[in-house]
Amino acid sequence: MSNSLSLFSPFTLRDATFRNRSFVSPMCQYSAKGDGVPHDWHFVHLGQFAVGGAGLVMTEATAVTPEGRLSFGDTGLWNDDQASAWKRITRFIRDQGALSGVQLVHAGRKGSTTPPWEGEIHMPVEIGGWETVGPSEIAFGALPAPRALDENGIRSVVSDFRDAARRALEADFDVIELHAAHGYLVHQFLSPISNARVDSYGGTFEGRVKFLLEVVDAIREVWPDNRPLFVRVSATDWVDGGWNLDDTVAASILLREHGVDLVDCSSGGTVDNALIPKGPGYQVPFARAIKQRSGIATGAVGFITDPRQANEIIVEEWADAVFLGRELLRQPHWPLLAAVELSESFEWPVQYKTSQPRRSSEAG
């Protein structure tokens, strides 16, 4: 344990230095109006976290192709108009002293659904949906079975990730995070529950991680060496016979060798009825185990709400950063308030600093 570490210690990966270790977890907004272009909602939603003191502001899951969306309201990076719109947001985030990250995703068999407030039900092609794809023709829950990708289809998706990473650079993001968790396409290849292939992309551990490593390599081809690359993983499927922590540790060692800088440690998403023992910090042990056993930097997630809880994770070196989601929706200025509670020195935005009124009539 290093006594110099705290939640507000700067954190450097490659040439990126995060002002603190409070990171914004990707949170889908389903608000892109169907064209994948972020607009004022995303500007305000993400900008508030930069003003509030976060070290890294991560976008929602951002699709690399229209067919890779979860819903018609997802943001994207499959065309230049989207990249241009994102650049306005990354510029503002940087101006507030934070760094920006984009989470790239292909939803695979879990795509073409309505937003949560409309029930997350399948949208057939006839009413604006799209055909979903996956490693195998195995359905998720009540959703239709996807079309199994052939090797040409796999190469096309890898290329989509490469192109999206290039546009992420044009949009001037500081970090890319590959979404390989929560039962989306990359995770579908990893888990034996959703991958029943008998070719080189299935069967053994080496076969099931092949697609993941090809996507990572494709992103690194266009993503500069001086900018960090993260991967979000589901450390376990929470069911027997699924992807598990030992698999994740082994994959994390490979990810480090392929140029990944941090593993963002979540879990679940492959089956819709897994029994997950949720509670405060319930996923932190995954981040700790992966960090200790693979030697890669990790991010901890999962009901992290209290500043002292978050600080302990960093001080004890269980993870290198904490990702907060719902708590930041409740308190967008959580990092600033955490600094006060932890007696850390941290500058509030000059616009928020109190000053004495010039005249008594100006008080209030």
* Distance between CA atoms of residues 233 and 264, nearest Å: 6
Q: CA distances (Å), 130 to each of 28, 111, 112, 125, 281, in order?
A: 19, 8, 6, 5, 37
Listed residue (57, 58, 79) closest to 68, CA to CA: 79
Directed axis angle between helix 210-222 and helix 245-257, to 10°?
Answer: 30
Q: Which of 30, 184, 282, 352 is catalytic?
A: 184
| HEC string for 244-268 | CHHHHHHHHHHHHHCCCCEEEEECC
Listed residue (261, 257, 189) closest to 223, CA to CA: 261
Asked whether the beta carbons of 303 and 314 are under 8 A apart, the reply is no
Scored b (16 or more CB within 10 A) or e, 194-221 reads bbebeeebbeeeebbbbbbbbbbebbbe
Listed residue (36, 40, 174) closest to 96, CA to CA: 174
The one-letter code for the residue type at 171 is A
234 φ, ψ to 5°?
-95, 110
* Distance between CA atoms of residues 195 and 261, nearest Å: 27
Q: How far is CA 223 from the centre of its chain?
A: 17
Instruction: Indicate if 184 belongs to the active site.
Output: yes
Task: Report H helices in the chain.
Answer: 40-51, 80-95, 151-170, 185-190, 205-208, 210-222, 245-257, 284-294, 307-315, 326-330, 334-341
SS3 content of the chain, % helix, strand, coil (to 5): 35, 15, 45
Catalytic residue positions, numbered: 184
